[in-house]
Amino acid sequence: MERFSKISDSTSFIKQLKEEGKTIGFVPTMGALHQGHLALMRRAKAENDVLVVSIFVNPIQFNSKSDLDKYPRVMDDDIKLLEQIRCDVLFSPSVSEMYPEPITKEYDFGILGRVMEGANRPGHFNGVAIVVKRLFDICIPDKAYFGEKDFQQLAIINKLVKIENMEVEIVSCPIVRENDGLAMSSRNMRLNEKQRKLAPFIFETLKSAKEIAAGKNVYDIKQWVEKQFINKKEFELEYFEISEPVELQPINNWSDAKTAMGFIVVNMGSVRLIDNIRIFNNFAVSN
């Protein structure tokens, strides 16, 4: 595996590969790699000649310094995993390498950027978009791979590619779950033993909501999910929303969208967990 921390070294190496006719599959990460990341990397490797991975804990996408400080950093373990998976190129820059100048860019993602994570984490998607644009410029991928756990991020990145007129193909990959259903996330390693045991309740609730959706209206399902978290002191439900899957606007009736998605954010202590589920596809409910 080739390792670069300087933008110019990384770009000239990748340019050379592209001149040789090789295709580049890219997986951007913030490290603390888990099986979810590895699934993206395996797919990128299978579909391209070269696998490029970046590890960069992007300070401008965090809403608080304490969340940034607490983000797990385990570079030695990450490198072992990348070597096992036979990653070709690792790009892991410093903050000053990525951001030598003050950042002024402001993206407007329209209504997509103003709901859920856009509303609850001001500036987060701008930070994600700025870093992803820079990483794409540096790593020049043919295809870039993102997980559906961060479904709104994926929608934002698809929009970013259009706004910036970039040639990269965005490949969305299904959520990878632990055996007990918990969506894999780098943040899971910050759960204590008790929290980790309880955390699968989040996905269980989503699955139950999906199961009972056919007999209830959208409002009832939202109320039902909210009720499940009342008096559960280990969980603090930040939001549960039912939305259409494109601009992620909340729906009031099942008939408002062909596919509805349920989006949830739950805090367990200081650990913020996010998950989603497709609630229905083929049932019609009169409201």
We find the least distance from the C-beta atom of residue 29 to ligand PAF, in angstroms, to be: 5
3-state secondary structure the chain: CEEECCHHHHHHHHHHHHHCCCCEEEEEECCCCCHHHHHHHHHHHHHCCEEEEEECCCHHHCCCHHHHHHCCCCHHHHHHHHHHCCCCEEECCCHHHHCCCCCCCCCCCHHHHHCCHHHHCCCHHHHHHHHHHHHHHHHCCCEEEEEHHHHHHHHHHHHHHHHCCCCCEEEEECCCECCCCCECCHHHHHCCHHHHHHCCHHHHHHHHHHHHHHHCCHHHHHHHHHHHHCCCCCCEEEEEEEECCCCCCECCCHHHCCCEEEEEEEEECCEEEEEEEEEECCCCCCC
Given the residues 25, 33, 37, 241, the one annotated as active site: 37
We find the least distance from the C-beta atom of residue 56 to ligand PAF, in angstroms, to be: 7
Question: Measured from the CB atom, is 58 or 188 closer to ligand PAF?
Answer: 58
Question: Measured from the CB atom, is 30 or 139 closer to ligand PAF?
Answer: 30
Chain positions contacting ligand PAF, by CB under 6 A: 28-30, 58, 61, 128, 131-132, 150, 153
Question: Measured from the CB atom, is 17 or 53 closer to ligand PAF?
Answer: 53
Question: Measured from the CB atom, is 30 or 41 closer to ligand PAF?
Answer: 30
Question: Measured from the CB atom, is 131 or 266 closer to ligand PAF?
Answer: 131
Instruction: Specify whether 37 is catalytic.
Output: yes
We find the least distance from the C-beta atom of residue 61 to ligand PAF, in angstroms, to be: 6
We find the least distance from the C-beta atom of residue 144 to ligand PAF, in angstroms, to be: 9
We find the least distance from the C-beta atom of residue 258 to ligand PAF, in angstroms, to be: 27
Active site residues: 37
